[in-house]
Chain A
């Protein structure tokens, strides 16, 4: 029995190893093609670039120049980091307020947050983009409150779920010892909320970094592009697509994600599980 089981596991390992290779193949294929001369990419996507097909980093240089990749990277990074910080800070405070103050406002806000989670973006996209335009929120700084507003639903909901589990006595003790609510929140509640903060951070980062439609409609894209917008821009209107530059930019877009994934893999997977259980 023991021997049979081990043999069985060995076959499964090989099977999964093969599937894993197939799994990363699309990304490897893009990486291979990013070093190929552009005319060969659609004609011979599966051949290895050698001799006259091989162009070193030409595609990268051309792509970076055409879409100003590093500007787009900076914008994406700025928007993602500050939006997520704003979401974590503001919604955790709001969720604590909602959970601790028993009023009509609290109940109403909670219900609205729940409700907003099922509303698809298309429902509000036109009016949101016009409103953001009227309020001059079309810069990377301006888009932060928009993300805070649209991302608040899920974040408030998740924080509320966790705050309910914190015993009231801890906070009361802090208050009796002379903390005002702000001190109580930052010195007592927020440290307890840390695991939820990580979960919300992971989920919101994945969303905002990859988001295309919201920044495309809200930002003044002549001046500020994020990475997804820049890549879509490369496709342009009606002309033929520069496949070489496209492949190179796809690689550059994927690299930071893989680095991020490798660095915080444990948190990402735990965050996804925790987020799913609460959601």
Chain B
């Protein structure tokens, strides 16, 4: 059977392989190479060694964006997961209207980042106007604006995953714990949370990478204002590429660092939470 399938390689695997090469493989390899070059388009690249990388660390906007992104990611991961889990717990108690609430909470997730950004800009600026401020008054406003926006967008998605996890817990387990005299706090800590650990793994992974890679919402909500102070990493890289001529190489080097950071975080996080999962 293997042999006869193998003959059909051009039909089965080739289209994806070609597209994958164009859409990912070649740009990725070229990207790594170009991070060691000075260039304005791809054809005039000149090898300059690691000077692009050295330049990054003298760029204050990048260092600022790095800390800003790290802080933003931590705050949004914690808030989104705690709130989503709490809502999921309450919505699995069988109260009336559960389906309607689930539908409503999930909806913002389908709306794109650009549209979301301008929607929240209107609301937040409207509220801040009472205090004679706007979102771009200082980076703190932009920060909390983004956090609120992300919570609104992602809680529904994570809630759906948590609900599925909670519903998978066998009822006998909770019953047994109750008969043994466990309080609801103990049940939560010793039964529910260990049992939904796979959901926690995937939700923290998703919120972590989403937060770290956030771009559209940042662009639409504050566009980095005031003076690049509310710029997340992805937007900082974009602005280095397309906003400063002669800095394309540095932009590419930043992108490589960005990629390495995302990869490290993803791997560490997967390791850490996978260890805590219970075998069923």
The residues of A with any CB-CB pair to B shorter than 8 Å are 9, 12-13, 16-17, 19-20, 23-27, 29-30, 33, 41-43, 45-46, 90-91, 93-94, 96-98, 100-103, 105, 109, 112-113, 116, 118-128, 130-132, 134-135, 137, 145-153, 156, 168, 171-172, 175, 180-182, 185, 206, 209-213, 227-228, 231-232, 235, 243, 246-247, 250, 253-254, 257-258, 260-261, 265, 268-269, 272-273, 276-277, 279
Asked if B16 contacts A148 (CB within 8 A), the reply is yes
Within 8 Å CB of A112, what residues of B?
Answer: 20, 24-25
The residues of B with any CB-CB pair to A shorter than 8 Å are 1-2, 4-9, 11-13, 15-28, 30-31, 34, 41-42, 90-91, 93-97, 100-115, 118-120, 122-123, 125-126, 129, 152, 157, 160-161, 164, 198-199, 202-203, 206, 209, 212-213, 215-216, 219-220, 234, 237-238, 241, 248, 251-252, 255-256, 258-259, 262-263, 266
Complex A-B: 11 CB contacts under 8 Å = A90-B19, A118-B209, A119-B24, A120-B255, A148-B15, A150-B23, A181-B8, A213-B238, A232-B114, A246-B118, A268-B106
**Minimum C-beta distance from A18 to chain B (A):** 11
Distance of A149 Cα from B216 Cα, bound (Å): 21
**Minimum C-beta distance from A171 to chain B (A):** 7
Asked if B97 contacts A13 (CB within 8 A), the reply is yes
Asked if B266 contacts A118 (CB within 8 A), the reply is yes
Given the contacts A45-B126, A120-B234, A127-B34, A94 and B1 also touching, CB distance less than 8 Å:
no
Distance of A126 Cα from B34 Cα, bound (Å): 10
Asked if A20 contacts B123 (CB within 8 A), the reply is no
Distance of A113 Cα from B104 Cα, bound (Å): 34
Q: Which residue of A lies closest to B104 (CB)?
A: A20
Asked if A123 contacts B13 (CB within 8 A), the reply is no
Within 8 Å CB of B164, what residues of A?
Answer: 273, 276-277
Asked if A228 contacts B115 (CB within 8 A), the reply is yes
Within 8 Å CB of A20, what residues of B?
Answer: 100-101, 104-105
Asked if B97 contacts A33 (CB within 8 A), the reply is no
Within 8 Å CB of B18, what residues of A?
Answer: 145
Asked if A12 contacts B16 (CB within 8 A), the reply is no
Q: Which residue of A lies closest to B9 (CB)?
A: A97
Within 8 Å CB of B90, what residues of A?
Answer: 12, 16
**Minimum C-beta distance from B231 to chain A (A):** 13
**Minimum C-beta distance from B84 to chain A (A):** 12
Distance of A124 Cα from B21 Cα, bound (Å): 12
Given the contacts A112-B20, A149-B20, A261-B110, A123 and B28 also touching, CB distance less than 8 Å:
yes
Within 8 Å CB of A12, what residues of B?
Answer: 90, 93, 95
Partner of A145, one of B23, B152, B251, B252: B23
Asked if B259 contacts A254 (CB within 8 A), the reply is no
**Minimum C-beta distance from B250 to chain A (A):** 12
Interface centre among A23, A43, A121, A276 (most CB of B within 10 A): A276
Shortest beta-carbon contacts, A-B, top 5 = A149-B23, A210-B112, A45-B126, A149-B19, A94-B16
Partner of A124, one of B31, B97, B126, B219: B31
Q: Which residue of B lies closest to A46 (CB)?
A: B126
Partner of B112, one of A128, A146, A209: A209
Asked if B122 contacts A123 (CB within 8 A), the reply is no
Q: Which residue of B lies closest to A97 (CB)?
A: B12
Asked if B4 contacts A265 (CB within 8 A), the reply is no
**Minimum C-beta distance from A132 to chain B (A):** 8
Asked if A273 contacts B93 (CB within 8 A), the reply is no
Given the contacts A16-B95, A232-B220, A261-B107, A30 and B16 also touching, CB distance less than 8 Å:
no
Distance of A154 Cα from B248 Cα, bound (Å): 29
Given the contacts A9-B95, A94-B12, A258-B107, A152 and B20 also touching, CB distance less than 8 Å:
yes
Within 8 Å CB of B110, what residues of A?
Answer: 206, 210, 257, 260-261, 268
Distance of A26 Cα from B221 Cα, bound (Å): 14
Distance of A137 Cα from B9 Cα, bound (Å): 25
Asked if B42 contacts A127 (CB within 8 A), the reply is yes
Asked if A273 contacts B16 (CB within 8 A), the reply is no
Distance of A152 Cα from B21 Cα, bound (Å): 10
Within 8 Å CB of B157, what residues of A?
Answer: 272
Distance of A147 Cα from B112 Cα, bound (Å): 17
Asked if A182 contacts B216 (CB within 8 A), the reply is no
Beyond A93-B11, A131-B42, A250-B118, 4 extra complex contacts between A and B, CB < 8 Å = A123-B28, A125-B238, A253-B111, A260-B110
Asked if A149 contacts B119 (CB within 8 A), the reply is no
